Amino acid sequence: MSPSAERPFTLVHPGGERIAGLMHETHTDPVGLFLPGFAAHMEGSKSQRLARYAQTQGWSWVRFDPRGVGRSDGLFEALTLSRYLADLQLILQMLGKRPVLLVGSSMGGWLGTIAAARWPERIRALLLIAPAYNFIQEIFQRLPVDEQRAWRDNNLRCWEDTYGLGTLRMRFDLVTDSWNHDLLRFPPCLHGPVEILHGSADEAVPLSSSYQFAARAHAPQLAIRPLPGINHRLQGADTVLLRSLHALWTHIS
């Protein structure tokens, strides 16, 4: 990707914290927008691959770092879904009334689904990559009772990330906030086309979770594409990913 293909931008929350992003602008609709997974940033391999493809197709495309990650301000330990959604809302405000095709990976898929239900007039289509619905609650519930109590009492927990991100520090606010976004207990209404790509060999989020979500959601245009032998990072499924993206883009453009 040439250096001039994407332009950096900075948006500022009312409290002063900045979020940083990159945009490939063609002044045509729709706009593609990528939400990475938990602790991931806009320089990840999937984020870059999608941005490169958008450039070759002549599409407008946005990627950004939520607060506490990458180039954006803030502490990662302050992450909650509501905080991430506030960052996304700032991006949508920047884009005015332009229709958005949102691609969300893992936790980004959970957030993207919430956003599509909240702002249906803006988010016209969803491509979800192994969406990690309710994974925060599940992490908490799998802990021994004494560790649950310690996290709640101390409002902080540290653990080693299995994907090589090192030691992560998370406040208990992440857990309490996540219950407000339980999409299995409170199924969303999704009006646009939704496609879920999910590997059968996903070691982090089982394929069955996508079927559980689909059985509950009010989404007449939802399709699940299971990918045999593919893991959580969707390694080896680039062609499927880009074909699905292109089909959704054609559908709404």
- Tell me 128's DSSP state: E
Cβ atoms of residues 102 and 123 within 8 Å: yes
Average pLDDT value for the chain: 94
What domains appear along the chain, each with residue ranges and CATH number? 7-252 (3.40.50.1820)
| Nearest by Cα to 51 from 250, 60, 108, 129 | 60
Q: Mean pLDDT over residues 206-224, rounded?
A: 97
Say what the pTM is: 0.94
Q: What is the pLDDT of residues 225-249, one digit of tens each?
A: 999 999 999 999 999 999 999 999 9
3-state secondary structure of 104: strand
What pLDDT is attached to residue 3?
A: 42
Spell 208-217 as b/e; 16+ CB within 10 A means b: ebbeebeeeb
Q: Is 90 exceeded by the pLDDT of residue 27?
A: yes
Q: What is the pLDDT of residues 135-151, one digit of tens each?
A: 999 999 999 999 999 99
In angstroms, the CA 160 to CA 169 distance is 9
3-state secondary structure of 98: coil
Task: Give the dihedral sign, CA 37/80/171/136.
Answer: negative
Q: What is the pLDDT of residues 112-130, one digit of tens each?
A: 999 999 999 999 999 999 9
